[in-house]
Amino acid sequence: MSFMYPLGLLGLIGIPVIIIIYILQSKFTEQTVNSNYLWHLSEKFMKRKNPLSGITGIISLILQLLMVVVITMILSRPIITLPNAAKEYHFVLDASSSMTMQEGKETRFEIAKDEIEKVIKSSKDGSSYSLVYVTNDEAVRAFDGINNKKTAISLMSDLKAGQTSTSHTSLLNTAQSVFDKNTASIVYLVTDKNYNTHENIEIIDVGNENTENYRIFDVEYSNSGGRLKVNANAISYVSDATLNISLSVDGKNMKSSDFNVKAGEMTPVEFDVPCSSFGSFRIEITTADGYMLDNFIDIYNMKSDKTYSVLIVSDTGFFFKAVIDALVDSDIDVVAPDEYENVTEEYGLYIFDSYTPASLPNGAVWLINADRSIENSGFGVRGKISLTPSDVIEKSKSTSTNVRKLLEGVGNSEIYITDYVKYSGMYLNFHTLYSYDSNPLIFAGANGLGNRQVVFGFDLHKSDFALSTDFVILLRNLLEYSFPNVIDETSYIVGEDAIVNILKNAENFKAVSPSGKDIYIETDGATATVALTEVGTYEISMKLAGNEMKYQIYSGASQIESMPTVNEEDFSLTGEKTDSNIDGEYDPMMVFFICLVILFIADWGVYCYEKYQLR
C-alpha cells in the first residue's frame, strides 16, 4: 500500500487526543429526582434489563477512534497495489477530415472518443493510457502514460479532427512505433477506415458505408463575350439523388438548378450566366449531406485581385495611359514634369517619360530617356549619342530565365532609333533586353532602394517601336514584372503548401486562414510557404509602396476524404506480442467513505441509547 498524500497521516494525532479527553471528562451527571428510593429501584431494574449500560462509553470511544482512522485514510488517500493486474493502453486516433462526417447527432470523431472512453472505463485501475492522434500525416501526442482514468478522459474532450487527409501508411507507422516501445501493450487504432484482417492491434471502426455524401469537383470555366460558362462534375457516393446546385458570382446568386445524379457516377454540371468580369465565383451543392466540406468550390480571378496604381510624369502621358489602360485594370494619374514635386500620394509604379527626377521614389520605376545620373538608380549617364542614319537595336539572345520571361511573346521585328543615352557604371544586376553596339538600351532589375526598375535608353516617341505589336507585348510583360504576382496559383488541396513570392520592400506580409487565424510568413527568402490545413479561402495580404494588396487562395477538400468508407489493405504490426502486465491499483476511497458513514451512524446510535435509555 502507498499513500498519495502521506501528510494526511498526521490525522492519527487525533487518537491520543480523543483518549485523553475520554479519560479526563467526568463520568457523572447531576440529576434531580423526586425520591432516592424510587431512583435506587430504577437503577436496579435498568442494570438487570440493560447489560450494556456499563460499556457504552467504551463502545463510543472505540467508534470515535475508528472514525479518526478512517478520516486519516481518506486524507492520505491510500492506494493498494495489485501485482500484474493492469495493462498499458495505447490509442492511435485517426483525426483526418473524414472523421468530421456526421453520423446522426455526432461526428465520427466524437463517436471515436466515446469508444475510447468506454475502453478506459472498463479497464483495471492502475492501467496506463496514452493517446496519439494523426492528422495531415503528422502524429501529435495528446497524453502519455496517464494512470488516472478521469484525467485521461478529460484530456480527450478538447481534441478535434482536422480538415486534411491522413494516409494509411502514417496511421500504421504511428501504431508500429507505439507497439515497438512495449510489445505487451494493447494498441487500438480508432479510425473510419475498414480493415478486414489485422494482428497485434485492436481496430475500433467508426465508419459507416451508408453515410450519404455528395461532392462537386473538376471545375473549369471560360469568361468571354459577356458570358461566364462553368463546367464541373458532381457525384453521389451512396445512392441516386437529386442535387440542388447553385452558382454565385462575387457573392450574388446567379443560378440554381436541380441535377439527377446516379450513385457512384460522375454527372456533368453546366452553368451559363451573363458576366463580363468577376473577382470570384462559387459553385455549391446546397443539398445537405454528412460531409459538407466537399460541397463547394471557390474560384478566384487572380488578375482581378491585382491593384495597379500608376503615376505618369510626362508632357505626352496620354500615350502610356492609353496603352496601360488597354492592358490592365488600373488607376492612372498623369502629371506634367513641373507638377511632380507637388505629388504627395504614393503609387505602385512611377513612369518618368523624358523627365529625370532628382531622386527615386519608393515604388517601381520606369525611367524613359533619362539623361542624367540619379542616386540609387544603379547606373551612370555618359551622354546622348545621335545616329545618322537611324539604326536597328538588337534583341537579347540570353537564355536566362528572367530575360526569357520578360521577352516572352515578343517577336523579332526591327526597331529603329535615331538617338540614345549611353549608360555606364552599372553596378547592380540588371537584365538587358535590348542593346545597341553592346550598350544596354532596355534593361530591368532592382535599384538601390530595392524596388523594381525598368530603363529605356531612348525616346519612345521618336522610335517606330511604340507603334509595333511587340511594344504592347513587352509592356504587358514589364507591367507583370513591376507588379509581380504574390501567388502563382489560387487553387490548392488542403494539406498542400501554397507558394508565396516575397517582394522586396513589401511590408505587413500576412496570411489569414478560413477560420480567421493569422499565419506568420517568413520573408527572408525569395519565396515562402503557407501550410493549408483548413478547407476554404486563405487571404494573403501585403503593403507595397503604399498600396494594400490582397490575394485569395482556395484550399479544397481532399477527394479521398469524401468517400463514406475506404477499404484498406490488411496488415499486422511486426514483432512478437508478449503477455506481461503492469501492477494495477485499487483505490479504496469509496469503502472508507462507507465505513465513515456507518461508524458515524453507530456512534450516534450509542449516544442516543445512552442519553435516553440508560438514564
| Domain range list for the chain | 2-27+35-81+588-612, 83-210, 214-300, 308-482, 491-558
Cell 462553368 locates to 230
Question: In this structure, are residues 230 and 156 in contact, taking their beta carbons and an 8 Å threshold?
Answer: no
Q: Report, as ranges of residue numbers, the positions in the chain whose pLDDT lies below 50.
A: 614-615
Cα 498 to Cα 488: distance, rounded to the nearest angstrom: 9
Per-residue model confidence (pLDDT) at position 26: 59
- The helix/strand/coil state of 212 is coil
Per-residue model confidence (pLDDT) at position 519: 93
Cα 412 to Cα 392: distance, rounded to the nearest angstrom: 11
Question: In this structure, are residues 311 and 335 in contact, taking their beta carbons and an 8 Å threshold?
Answer: yes
What class has domain 491-558?
A: mainly beta
Fold equal for 83-210 and 308-482: yes
Cell 540609387 locates to 376
| Sign of the four-CA dihedral 456, 460, 463, 464 | positive
Per-residue model confidence (pLDDT) at position 453: 92
Question: In this structure, are residues 525 and 500 in contact, taking their beta carbons and an 8 Å threshold?
Answer: no
- DSSP code of residue 12: G
Cα 81 to Cα 424: distance, rounded to the nearest angstrom: 88
Decide if domain 308-482 falls under CATH 3.40.50.1100.
no
What class has domain 214-300?
A: mainly beta
Tell me the CATH number for domain 83-210: 3.40.50.410
Backbone angles phi, psi at 601, to 5 degrees: -65, -40
User: Quick check: pTM over 0.75?
Assistant: no
- DSSP code of residue 48: H
Per-residue model confidence (pLDDT) at position 421: 93
Per-residue model confidence (pLDDT) at position 63: 80
Question: In this structure, are residues 131 and 143 in contact, taking their beta carbons and an 8 Å threshold?
Answer: yes
Tell me if the bond preceding 16 is cis, omega within 30° of 0: no
H helix runs in 427-538, sequence order: 469-482
Per-residue model confidence (pLDDT) at position 478: 92
Q: How many CB atoms lie within 10 A of CB 159?
A: 18
